[in-house]
Every structure is written in C-alpha cells, then in structure tokens.
Amino acid sequence: MVLFPDRRSSDEENLGVDWVIRYQFDGADTSAAIEEFRTLVRDLDEAGLRTQVRHGTGSSLLVFVNAPRERLGHEIFKARVKDWLDGVSDIRPVGDSQTVIDGDTEAEELRSVHHLVTGRKDDGGAEVTANRGRWKNITACFPLHSPNANRGLFRRWSRIRILEAEDLDELRALFGEKVALYFAFGQCYGFFLAGAAVCATLSWMYYGPYSIGLSVISSLWCIIFVEYWKVQQTDLAIRWSSRGVGETKANRIHNVWDKGPEGHETTLRTKEIYQAEKQLLRQLPQFVFAILASVVIGAFVLVTFTVELLISEVYKGPFKAFLDFLPTISLALSLPTINSILNKAATRLTDYENYPSEAQYDAARAQKSFLSRFITYFLPLLLTAFIYVPFGDRIGPSLDALHITWLSNRVPRHTDSSHLQQQVISFVLMTVMLQFRERNFLLRGAQVSFMKYLHYLPDRPTDILHPYRRSDSSSLLLIDHPEESGFLSRVRDESEASVHDVQDNLLEICVQFGYLALFGAAWPLVPLVFLFLHWTSFRSELFKTIMERQRPAPLRTDTIGPSLRILEFVARLGCLSTAAIVHLYRRDVRQVELWSLLLTIFVTEQFYYVARYFIRTVLQKIGSETIHREEARRDAVQRRYMETFSEEAADLCRVYKPRVRFNEIMDVVIETNRRDSTAASSEYARPSEDETEDGNEPEIPHKISRRTNTDLLRDAEKSTRFWSWHQAPQETIEAGIKLIEAISVASRLGRSVPSNGQVTPKKAD
Amino acid sequence: MVLFPDRRSSDEENLGVDWVIRYQFDGADTSAAIEEFRTLVRDLDEAGLRTQVRHGTGSSLLVFVNAPRERLGHEIFKARVKDWLDGVSDIRPVGDSQTVIDGDTEAEELRSVHHLVTGRKDDGGAEVTANRGRWKNITACFPLHSPNANRGLFRRWSRIRILEAEDLDELRALFGEKVALYFAFGQCYGFFLAGAAVCATLSWMYYGPYSIGLSVISSLWCIIFVEYWKVQQTDLAIRWSSRGVGETKANRIHNVWDKGPEGHETTLRTKEIYQAEKQLLRQLPQFVFAILASVVIGAFVLVTFTVELLISEVYKGPFKAFLDFLPTISLALSLPTINSILNKAATRLTDYENYPSEAQYDAARAQKSFLSRFITYFLPLLLTAFIYVPFGDRIGPSLDALHITWLSNRVPRHTDSSHLQQQVISFVLMTVMLQFRERNFLLRGAQVSFMKYLHYLPDRPTDILHPYRRSDSSSLLLIDHPEESGFLSRVRDESEASVHDVQDNLLEICVQFGYLALFGAAWPLVPLVFLFLHWTSFRSELFKTIMERQRPAPLRTDTIGPSLRILEFVARLGCLSTAAIVHLYRRDVRQVELWSLLLTIFVTEQFYYVARYFIRTVLQKIGSETIHREEARRDAVQRRYMETFSEEAADLCRVYKPRVRFNEIMDVVIETNRRDSTAASSEYARPSEDETEDGNEPEIPHKISRRTNTDLLRDAEKSTRFWSWHQAPQETIEAGIKLIEAISVASRLGRSVPSNGQVTPKKAD
C-alpha cells in the first residue's frame, strides 16, 4: 500500500508517538486477551514508557508508546556509554545516573526506544518483541514514519539518479545504519553490474559466448567488486562512527539457557552459560538438512530432464516447440516454492541452534538461507553444466542396462552446449521475473492506487465497509475521534505494511551475483539483464522504504556481514565454474579430456587466490579518502592530546560525525544540515563540486511545505490531547479492555471489523 | 660466548645503566670520529638522557645511557596514554605533562628507554639506531642483562621441562612480549611435533611411507595446529594486555618521504606523505627477484640431477655407492649459502620498498625471507617429486632429440619412488644439521668455555693480550677502574654478543613445518627428526637468551605476524602436496593417470577449505579459558560501570595484568609475584593444582642468593660513583674524545686493542 502520496492529512506529525505495538487477539477468548493485554501495558509501564491504546484493524489493538524525555535521554546516554565500553567510541561520555542527552539523529533516539521496548528486562527494557516467544500475538512492533522527513526524501530522490554520501547520511539518520548500508551496497553493486554489462555485451557481440578473455575479465571484476566493497564498507562505518559495532554482542532475548541468567558466578550472562560444545552439537542437523535438500532437488531435476527427453523425442504432435521447453520452465517456476519451503526449514533450524547473540543468529540464518537458495537455483544448473551435458553420452549405455533402449537411443541429441545456455537463460529470466514482480514498485504501486481509488468511490456499498454504523452502543468506542482519525488511519496502514528485511534483499543480490559469476560465461547477457532489473528495482526499493513499508527499527551495523562472506565464496566458486564451463563448452563437449579440464580448474583456483591477494593488497593500500582522513584526524588528535593531556583534547577524540537531523520541520533542517556538513567537511576535505551545486537547489520545493508557527502550536496541542486520554497505565488497561470487549462483540455479531476506522466519522459527519 | 656462569663478579648489578651504545670508529680518521661522537652525545642529551663513556673492545667506545627517573616515568606514562589512544588499553591514564609513573615490568621501562634512544626526534627520542642510516658506526644498541633475574630464570629452567604460563609471564617481564610469544609458540610447536611424530612413526612402522590414513591425519593435524595457535596467541595477548598492539603503527625512522614531515596540511606524518601508489610500484621488483631466483635454483637442480645421472650410469670405479649420492649431498650443502645470498637480496629489496611502519617492514621482510627459503629448500624437492621422477620417462626421448642417446637410454632407471624419499631424507637431515649446529647451545657452549679457559691460563703470553702495559701515558686512559672492571668486562662481552632475531627462528620453524607438511608423506620420520632437533634446540634457545646473547629490546606484539600467514600458506600447500605425493608414489609412478591425480588435488583442496572452516569454527567457539575470563570480566565491569557511572568503576576497565617485576632483588620479587598472581587469579579462576605445588618450591634456592642491605648500599654507592665521572654532556664528550685519541694512537702503534679491559688492572695489582 502507498502510505503517503495521496493522503490528505499528511502534514500532521506523529503526536509524540515513538513506537507502535499492534496486539492481535482471538475474538473468541476475551478473558485471555484481557489478561495478556494487561501484562503488556504493565511491562511497558515498568520500563518507564507511557502508553495509549486505540483499536486497530480487525481484532487488534494499537498500543502507542511514548518514551518520556528523561527516560529516553538517559537511555541514549547509556547507549553512548556502552559504545565507549565496547570500544566503538573513543571517549567516555561524562555523566551519571541522572544524565539526559539528545540523540544525534532521529535514528539514534528511535534505537534507544527500540531498546526500551524490546530489550531484556534486566537491562531496563520491556522484552516486547513481535511474533516471538511469549508475545506471539504481537504482530507488529515498529516506529512511525516521519511524514515530513519522508516527503523531503521523496522530493530529493525524484531529482537525483545517484545517491551521494549526504543522501546516505540522511538515510542513516532516519532508518539507521543497516538500511543505509544496504542502499550503499546496492548502489555499489549497480556500478559493478554496469561495468560487467558493458564488457560482457561487447564481448558477446564480437566473440559470442564462452569467450576466454571475457571470463578472465569478469572473474577479476567480481573479485575487485568484493574487495572494493570491503573498503567502502569501512569508509562508511568510519563516517557513521559505527566501526566495531559488529563486535559488540547484544544478547538475544529468546535464547535458552542452561542455568538461569542470575545463577552464574562470573556474572557473565549468556555466553558461558549456554555452553559452546552443546551449541556446536546443535549445529550438526544442518548438514543433514543440506544433504537431504540437495538429494531431493537433484532427484527433482533428474525427473525434469527425463520428462523433457521423453517429450522432445517421443512427442511429435502440435505445440512441440513450446512443449519441449515446458519441463525446464515448470522447473524454473516451481523453484520459488521449493525455496520458500527450504527457507522456512532453515529459519527453524537456526532457531533450534539457539545463538547467544543477534549477530550470530542473523549470520547463521543468512548462511542457511543462501544455502537453500544455492541448492534451489544453482544446483540444477550445475548438474546440467557438469553432469548432464558432458556425461550425456554415458547416460545412454546406463539406460541400456536398465532395458530402456528406446530412450537410450535418443539421448545423445541432447548433449550439445546450447542446452546449458537455454537453461541459464530460462533460470535467469525466471529469477528476474520473480524479483521484478516482488520488488517493482511502479507495478504494485499502480495496483494499490487502483484499490485505493475503489475504496474512495462515493457510491460504494457502505454496509461492507462500515458495519459499525448500525452497531450497538459499545461499538461507539470503535469510532475514531475526528481530530485523530487521519493519524490513526495512517498508523493502521503502517501497522499492516510489509516489513523490510534488508538481509533478504542482500541475499537476492547474492543470487544475482551468483548467476553472473557462475554462469555468466554461458550467456554473457546475464549482467545486462540484471542491470536492468537492478536499476529499476533499486529505485523502487528506495521509494518503497518511505512509502510502502513499515519503518524498520534503526539497527546499527558496520558490515553487510554474512552476505560479504557469501559474496566471497561465490566469487571463488564463480572463477572455478567459469573456467570449467568455458573449457568444456568452447569446443565440442565430448572431445574435452578430463585431465585438461581438471588442470584448468586447478590453475584457475591458484590464479584466483593470487589475484585476490594482489587486488586486496592494492585496494587496501590505496584505501579511501575517509579512511585516510580518519587516520589523519586520529593522528592530529593524538598529537594534540599528547601535548596537553587535557580533558578538552580528550574530547576531541570524538570521531567526526556528519550530523543529520530530521525534526518537526524537515526542510529547514536539511538546509542547516547542508550548511553544517559543508562546514564540517571543509575542516578535513574540500567539498565536491556537484555538492555545492545541489546544495542551493532544494530550497525552492522546501519552502512550499514550510509550516508556520501556528501549525506547530496546533500540533503540540493535538499531541497533548492525544496523550491525555489515559494518564495512568491502569487507565490504558481499562480502555484496552473496553476496546477488546467491543471488538469481540462486533465480531460475534458476525460483522467484519473495519479495515480503516478513519472513514467512519467522515460518514457520520 | 657465555656471559654469565663462570663470571666471578656476577653479583654486581647494572650500576643504573639502562642502555648501552657501542660506537665503532675508524682509527685512521680521528677528527670525523670525534665529530660524530659529539653529535651522538648531544642527541642523547637533547632527549634528556644522561651519558657516560668508557672504551670498548677494539676501536670502539661504549656510551652508557641512563634515563633520569622523571624523564623515564613520564615516558612510561606517555606510552600508556598512547596505548589508550590507540585502543590497546581501555582506560585513559589520568595525568598531565608532569606525571611520572612506574612501569609494570622491567620490560615496560626498558621499552620506554628504547623509545627515548631510538625514537623519532619529534617524539622526544634521540633517533639513535644501530647499523642504519646516519648511525652506521653504531654497531650495537642494547639494554643490559639483569644478572640476578637471569640467575633466577636459570635456576628455574634447570628444574622444569615445560614452560608454564607464569614462566612466560617472567619472560615477558624481562624480555618483552615478542620474545615471550616466540617461546610460547615454540613450545606449542613442540607439542604439535610430538603428536605428529607419534602418529607418523606408528604409521611408518605398520604401513610404511605413502599411507593415505597418515596423510589425512597429518594434514588435519597441521590445520589444527595453526588454528589452535591463533587461539593461544589471542589468549596470551589478552593475558599481557597487548591485544591490538599490532594495529598501532609506530613509524619507521628510516623512511624516505616525498615531502618533509612538517609540511603536510593534515598534520599526518608519514602515511599519506609517502604515497601508497608509489610504494606499490616499488614492490614490483620482488616478483622479478622471485622469478630469477627460481630459475637459477631450478637450473642448479637440473645440473645436479644430470651430474648424478652421469655418475651413477657412467662411473663404475670405487666408492660408487658414495659418489652416487655426492651430487645430492653437495646440493644440500650448498643451499645454505644460496639461501643467505637470497636473504641479503630480500633485505635490500625490503629496504628499497620503504615501508612507513616497522610492522609492515617486518612482515615484508619475513615474507621475502621465507620466499627465498622456500625456493632454496622446497623447490628442488618439488621439482624432484612432480617433474623429475614422474616425467623421467619423457626426459629420455627429449634427450634423444638432442642427440645424447647414450644418456637417454639410461634415464628410466631413475624414475623410482625411492629417489624422492632419498632426497627428502638428505634435505631434512641437512636442515637438521644446519639448525642444530647454529642453535645447539651445549656444543657451542663447550667450545666457548674452552676458549675462556685458555684465556684465564696464568702462563699465557701477556704481550698479546695486554699491549697497553708498555704503552705511553695516553693509554693509561684505557685501563679500567678496578671497581668497574668486572662490570665493564661484562658489558664488553654483551656488546659483542650475537643479536637474537626472533623472526629468523620463527622462519626456521616455518621451514621445518614446511618439510613436514609438504613431504612428510614420503618419509614419515620427518616429525620425529624435527622433534629431536626442536626439543634439544628449544631449551638451548632459552638458555642462550639469558647467557649468550645480547638482551633484545623488549618489543611488544600480539601475534607472530607474518609467520602465521606463512604457516597457513604452508599448511594449505602441504595438503595439496601430500595428496599428490601419496597419489603418485603409492603405486608405480608411471601408471598414474593425470586426470586422477588432478582430481585428487582438486578434491583435496576443497577438503582443505572445508576442514579449515570447521576446525576454525570449533576452536574459536570453544576458545580458551583466558578469553572466556576476559569476556566475563568485561561484562562484569560494564555492568558495574553502568550502575554507578563512577570514576572508580571506570578504572576497573583496566585489563587484568599478571604483574611480574624483576628489580634489584629478583628472588624476593618472584615470591611476591607468585603471591600476587595467585591472589589475582583467584578473583577470576581457581588456581591450577601444579601451580600451587610449584609456588612453594622455589623459595629454597632463592634464599641462597638473597642479598643483604649492605650489599644493596654498596651497589648504590658504586652506581653513584659510576655516574659521577662526567656530570655534563660536555664532559662526556671530552672524555670520549680523549679515549678516541688514545685508542687511535694505540692502534697506530700497531698494537691490538685489548678485547677485555678487565684483565689489565688485575695484572697491575
């Protein structure tokens, strides 16, 4: 759904709501729901958070969470202290248990709210996480989008083609390092694809597939991409002072312990308690899983090949050209389903493996997810390339032995090199279609707009959409206050929006990269196709982040983590696979001698290691501007400190941060920010040319949306009124109970609960 | 030479001398020597160091350096601050430009002296380094051994077989982390060898060479060793709080800059100024070097083989059995010479590459040194194993083409698998002999003792040893003061002693490991032979460190650095080589098909990566006790800090350090230290059983050498007298000039300068 463009009251802000929890309950068992809801509000209250409750869509309540200024400010301070203790930041923040500070960015503040809501109770959190553990009924737990900031981003992104460093800073300031790093990586990958596409297409035009020159160049290009990104990643981590964040191990909440977390003598909480040996044992089943999955997919592929053989050889009727391809196409189309099944199994396995920290859990899950993708998408192609086509000759005799002579006589026809190419083409196109359908914003945007349009038609059958009009008195509760209705309807939309999992997108890129690295030699247009897909979907990803998806919890990271290891692995495998494919298919497959193939592979592998070593050395030595600047800065600060040993010099150890803020009025801040960042960067580097050009331009559109002081005052009043409904947690609980009862009465009367409460008062007017 | 055991005045301490510089001059050009000496003393004075001068052996002066208490204490404080700034230590040392603190260990204090003497001038040092740059005439620059501490170590080591953690702590306290880490690694390598020797010998007895089972086990064992050492290394780095030291980049002094170090706008000193691109270019010649060296050695090996062929086939005279082996043996014996030539070339190349930091320089030099060793020792064996023996059949026909028919007819006799084994045996034994001769202490110790004995004979011709007896008045200067003579003679011995390069020993271990990993399959007794060599030479290494060698500058490190990468590389190559050798030589070499060999290698390579991944994962997960304890400590401290935010809690962030001190009276300190470390460790872990047993034992021998207060007072007086000879640097310079003149007069009179001044006054009595 599109959350923002055609909303009328989009000017309104979030009424002081920091976080929203959507509590879904079973309409039939009201008492259990009431009990659970009561626990929820109490937990939040114990963590020092203020709450309000409104009804959501369906049988759900929306709990609005506000972190009071003192609580939040101290939490931010504590997070800074933790950063210092973990070595992420150089300087000890001065303060005590009363210290209250501002976050540098909205993301930092929201991260602290996130920690208060989802963090462990003995860390001061409320332990409320969506869809996990005892809070299975909480279906969403998210911060609200900031409409004004999003509008600013929308305007900016509509004008630019390439994300500058400042754009990434803005993304980071709003959505956290994880999301910003994903987009930085996506853009870097786009450039890599563009380079690969140009080379490969030119080579395809002049030399056709299986070109040795292209293979060498593209293998090197893959290595360069991976190593270059490593440097970029460090660059960004320094820029956002999140370097070393990956090392700090935030404990996972839903971790099974051997002993209670309190009972350990060393006061070490989870690491030691859940023994390493035990955990290693728990990791064994994944191998069984991988082998089983490979066997099943392998068998599936074999069946498809046999069917294809049967059809192409035996069937002589109409649509033969189409039917010949049917098995491969149906194989390709069934793979996503298989993959999603494997993915679920992988997640379950990872849950079972019970990692002590979130980072380890993510890494293990990503690894398994990629493994399942690898088995689904690449195994069939690898089987075709290295077993089916080269050994096709020998399949005949072995079928002979099984007395299927009529089949065996016809087999050799298939062992031509075009078969691999065809299969690569169909797999790549299948992947493109899938990813395009999933990602492409324009397509789905149009669809959703049409739905919205239907929704707003004046002559729609009102009964279906507004069952409460004829409801009894308790249902009056379910009618929104006119002042809040716009806001609430937006929150309801956001609460039902899809959640953005950066890791999934990264894995999709890994799969693309895999096709390109492994089978690019067979069909050199692979990078061109992916380039098309990437540049369309990458932009729509950007817009979807602000317009269609739940705002992600602004997590920090200094690396794309598991994906990086996957990319390295794929680049290595790609070298081998490319060499083998070129060697096999360059001439007649049947005339290739095994020893020469193996020699090629062996030499290629050594070549890969040597090349990677040199590329890495060179790239890391040259480094990036930011890395050099950081080193210069540290050097300068150290010298200054060593001269004076003063507190002030010690404070300078603080890493240079590009400060970006999106407050009530986004556009003003953008200007200040630009000024700030120019001023800040001039200390260390000259501002780039195009930046200054851009810097003046955005003022015109921003002025349009600039809001007056009266607007601000009105907003503040609205916010106060919103939070004054229930003062104490007990009031929230009572209000919630009333809502639960009202909703369950409504559903018992057989009426559907409105999907959008905002419409009701409008009709009532 | 043996510095310590049969010395009579070994009780005396170092008279407050922290550092000794040996200035060697050309007796002919006195004025240049005087000028240079003047600069030397002034430089030292500018760095705030006190100096005394005495004459050394030959045409040399000994400059004694003392760092005044305030200067040294502040330097130690500054080093701590730098550690904090570099992230090595967690806590900011509180203080200002006047702060003076004690070092935790003698090594820490000496490290600061080292920094004062050799450090860059703008860091407050004197830039005096031995054998480099403008100080080519300084032939030694070293701290003095601490006789009492050394005696304690000697006693302890005479009783123990295995170095405990506390022994390593003591080594670290006296000689710094680099030396201690080397011995820790050596011991770890010893255990690895023992395991390998047991397996291999058993397998050899039952299955002979080329056993598949043994190959797999020993390949895995090699991987386990490398990965286990990584964990151990981290463990020790945490124990000695030197973790992260490798990252801090101390600038190398003799680095050529593009611009002067002052002129750079970012105040960054060396890194940026010497451009990365330029440096990369400078690294290109090493490839030419490697290729040239390989070709030369390859040609050399080819000639040897041909000669061997000629002798074995053509020669039928007496001593045939011996002469058959002559070429291989002479090849083996000539290799050390070749290696030392290559090594010199490698050092020159590394100098040319002009690295900005000491660590990078060391790594590059080690890499090149190993490359030259690899080419010398392993290339001939690899050529034999994979070219000469398997393709021996084809050498015949190709010689035919060259019309050397009489030779080609006889070639095939040589292509048997025993040839490889013979060569491996001779190479391994050659290496063992070489390393044994170089390292074995007992052998050389006996030799030196004999020399000493001769020296002390009463009826030796005195004229040769004491030319100054008949000298003129200026030579009176060259007679030592009786009170100092013992001390000075010890210093003269030390100044001529060999310098211990840990890196060289590590590379020797790498070579041993290489033989074992690459060719262990051909002759399974390799580990047994090396085990013998290692356990004899390792102990003598220990004793040599305190008795025969110059005390090393106590440098810090948290890793064995380049050697670790070499070990990893060798382990990987070893897997491939072992698999190939077993595959080739298990049956008749000529019947092996190329494709099956290549397939074996390919599969082995994949096996290596998988095995390494799992071994690494398991070992790192299990980790070590120290690592777990460190994590628990950090966790506990963080929790405490987060509760109080107090300065006291912040101070607890200090890493747990086992404090070891060797002061004037070593034995007392050992007791305190033992008590300390037990107390300290009981906080976090129970002390191990054997540790407490050991803890009480050493008291008895220590009491014997305990010195009375009178002794101490006398030492202090002696020390004061020693330093009162020259008060101002000008006096030192004048004294030095007089000595230079006296020595050059003596040498002009055609008399040799006494090698040991101490003897003169004894005769004069």
Residues B668, B542 share a domain: no
Nearest-CA distance A97 → chain B (Å): 7
Task: Closest CB to B621: pick one of A276, A631, A646.
Answer: A276
Task: Closest CB to B645: pick one of A96, A635, A643.
Answer: A96
Q: What is the pLDDT of residues B499-532, one digit of tens each?
A: 878 888 898 899 999 999 999 888 889 999 999 8
pLDDT at B749: 67
Percent of chain B scored above 70 by pLDDT?
72
Pairwise CB contact (< 8 Å): B272 & A628:
yes
pLDDT band at B225 (very low <50, low <70, confident <90, very high): very high
Residues A270, A230 share a domain: yes
Chain B CB contacts of A598 below 8 Å: 595, 598-599, 601-602
Chain A CB contacts of B645 below 8 Å: 81, 95-97, 99
pLDDT band at A228 (very low <50, low <70, confident <90, very high): very high
Give the residue, A397 or A164, on which the prediction is more confident. A164
Give the mean pLDDT of A14-26.
85
Give the residue, A306 or B566, on which the prediction is more confident. B566
Of residues A292, A526, A536, the one with CA closest to residue A429: A526
- Residue A287 clears pLDDT 90, i.e. is over it: no
- For the record, the structure tokens of B202 come out as 């058993």
A239 touches chain B (CB under 8 A): no
CA distance B286 to B291: 9
Residues B221, B321 share a domain: yes
Pairwise CB contact (< 8 Å): B267 & A632:
yes
- Residue A18 clears pLDDT 80, i.e. is over it: yes
- Residue B756 clears pLDDT 50, i.e. is over it: no
State the average pLDDT for chain A.
Answer: 74
Instruction: Tell me whether residue B508 is in a domain.
Output: yes
Pairwise CB contact (< 8 Å): A635 & B268:
yes
Task: Closest CB to A636: pick one of B267, B271, B280.
Answer: B267
Q: What is the pLDDT of residues B139-180, one digit of tens each?
A: 888 898 888 888 888 888 888 888 888 889 888 988 988 899
Of the ranges B292-296, B434-438, B481-485, B709-713, the best mean pLDDT one: B292-296
Based on the number of CB atoms within 10 Å of its own CB, is B754 exposed (0-12), middle (13-18) or buried (19 or more)?
A: buried
Q: What is the pLDDT of residues B662-717, one digit of tens each?
A: 433 333 333 333 333 333 333 333 333 333 334 343 333 333 334 456 666 776 77
Q: What is the pLDDT of residues B46-67, one digit of tens each?
A: 888 888 888 888 788 888 888 8
Task: Closest CB to B631: pick one of A271, A594, A602.
Answer: A271
- Residue B761 clears pLDDT 70, i.e. is over it: no
Stretch among A429-438, A685-694, B473-482, B593-602 having the lowest mean pLDDT: A685-694
- Residue A557 clears pLDDT 80, i.e. is over it: yes
Instruction: Tell me whether residue A431 is in a domain.
Output: yes
Range of the domain at B756: 19-143+723-764
- Residue A267 clears pLDDT 50, i.e. is over it: no
pLDDT at B264: 39
Residues A512, A393 share a domain: yes
- Segment 593-612 of chain B within 8 Å of chain A by CB: 593-595, 598-599, 601-602, 605
Q: Which of B623, B643, B678 is the last residue of a domain?
A: B623
Q: Are B151 and B203 in contact (CB under 8 A)?
A: no
Residues B178, B132 share a domain: no
pLDDT at B399: 55
- Segment 62-91 of chain B within 8 Å of chain A by CB: 78, 81-82, 85, 87, 90
Residues B313, B188 share a domain: yes
Stretch among A719-733, B256-270, B279-293, B346-360 having the lowest mean pLDDT: B256-270
List of long-range contacts for B31-35, beta carbons under 8 Å, 24+ apart: B33/B137, B33/B740, B33/B744, B34/B736, B34/B737, B34/B740
Alpha helix stretches (DSSP H) within B240-378? 276-282, 285-314, 320-353, 358-373
CA distance B294 to B83: 43
Stretch among A289-303, A626-640, B396-410 having the lowest mean pLDDT: B396-410
- Residue B316 clears pLDDT 80, i.e. is over it: no
ipTM of this predicted structure = 0.72
- For the record, the structure tokens of B318 come out as 């007496």
Give the residue, B751 or B204, on which the prediction is more confident. B204
Give the residue, A702 or A201, on which the prediction is more confident. A201
State the average pLDDT for chain B.
Answer: 74
CA distance B288 to A347: 52
Residues B438, B328 share a domain: yes
pLDDT at B219: 93
Give the residue, B647 or B684, on which the prediction is more confident. B647
Residues B530, B637 share a domain: no
Task: Closest CB to B622: pick one of A276, A599, A632.
Answer: A276
A651 touches chain B (CB under 8 A): no
Task: Closest CB to A594: pick one of B90, B97, B595.
Answer: B595
pLDDT at A750: 58
- For the record, the structure tokens of B446 come out as 């006996």
Pairwise CB contact (< 8 Å): A96 & B632:
no
Instruction: Tell me whether residue B6 is in a domain.
Output: no
Instruction: Tell me whether residue B418 is in a domain.
Output: yes
Residues B413, B535 share a domain: yes
CA distance B75 to B117: 12
Task: Closest CB to A635: pick one of B87, B269, B628.
Answer: B269
Q: Are B268 and A631 in contact (CB under 8 A)?
A: yes
Residues B391, B354 share a domain: yes
Stretch among A76-80, A595-599, B351-355 having the lowest mean pLDDT: B351-355
pLDDT band at A688 (very low <50, low <70, confident <90, very high): very low
Residues B316, B242 share a domain: yes
Chain A CB contacts of B629 below 8 Å: 266
- Segment 652-711 of chain A within 8 Å of chain B by CB: 653, 684
Pairwise CB contact (< 8 Å): A87 & B85:
no
Half-sphere exposure of A248 (CA within 13 A, CB side): 21
- For the record, the structure tokens of A418 come out as 């075009």
Based on the number of CB atoms within 10 Å of its own CB, is B188 exposed (0-12), middle (13-18) or buried (19 or more)?
A: middle
Of the ranges A136-140, A275-279, A676-680, the best mean pLDDT one: A136-140
Of the ranges A400-414, A748-762, B239-253, the best mean pLDDT one: B239-253
Q: Are B126 and B49 in contact (CB under 8 A)?
A: yes
- Residue A221 clears pLDDT 90, i.e. is over it: yes
Task: Closest CB to A266: pick one of B78, B90, B632.
Answer: B632
Of the ranges A10-14, A634-638, A756-760, B425-429, the best mean pLDDT one: B425-429
Nearest-CA distance A632 → chain B (Å): 5
Chain A CB contacts of B594 below 8 Å: 595, 599
Question: Which of B357, B622, B642 to mutate to test binding with chain A, by most A CBs within 10 Å of its CB?
Answer: B642
pLDDT at A490: 85
CA distance B64 to B144: 10
How many A-B residue pairs are in contact by the CB < 8 A criterion? Answer: 130
The total domain count for chain A is 2
Question: Strand, coil or helix: what is A138?
Answer: strand
Pairwise CB contact (< 8 Å): B601 & A601:
no
- Segment 452-511 of chain A within 8 Å of chain B by CB: none
pLDDT at A531: 92
Task: Closest CB to B636: pick one of A266, A593, A605.
Answer: A266
Q: Which residue of B has its CA nearest to A74?
A: B642
Beta A50-55 vs B19-24: how paired, if at all?
A: unpaired
Of the ranges A318-322, B72-76, B337-341, B584-588, the best mean pLDDT one: B72-76
pLDDT at A409: 53
Instruction: Tell me whether residue A38 is in a domain.
Output: yes
- Residue A485 clears pLDDT 60, i.e. is over it: yes
Q: Which residue of B has its CA nearest to A645?
A: B96
CA distance A30 to B591: 81
Question: Strand, coil or helix: what is A461?
Answer: coil
Give the mean pLDDT of A54-64.
84
Q: Are A468 and A754 in contact (CB under 8 A)?
A: yes
Q: Which of A598, A623, A648 is the last residue of a domain?
A: A623
- Residue B185 clears pLDDT 90, i.e. is over it: yes
Pairwise CB contact (< 8 Å): A82 & B268:
no
Chain A CB contacts of B269 below 8 Å: 635
Instruction: Tell me whether residue B648 is in a domain.
Output: yes
Q: What is the pLDDT of residues B438-453, one digit of tens each?
A: 655 455 555 555 555 5
Q: Which residue of B has its CA nearest to A685?
A: B266
A278 touches chain B (CB under 8 A): no
Instruction: Tell me whether residue A40 is in a domain.
Output: yes
Of residues A78, A74, A69, A62, the one with CA closest to residue A144: A62
Residues A272, A237 share a domain: yes
Q: Which of A623, A649, A684 is the last residue of a domain?
A: A623
Task: Closest CB to B267: pick one of A639, A641, A644.
Answer: A639
Chain A CB contacts of B599 below 8 Å: 594, 598
Q: What is the pLDDT of residues A630-679, one digit of tens each?
A: 777 777 777 777 776 666 555 555 444 444 444 333 333 333 333 333 33
pLDDT at B193: 94
Question: Which of B81, B83, B85 to mutate to test binding with chain A, by most A CBs within 10 Å of its CB?
Answer: B85
Instruction: Tell me whether residue A720 is in a domain.
Output: no
Buried b (16+ CB within 10 A) or exposed e, B408-429: bebbeebbbbebbbbbbbbbbe
Chain B CB contacts of A653 below 8 Å: 85
Q: What is the CA radius of gyration of chain B?
A: 29
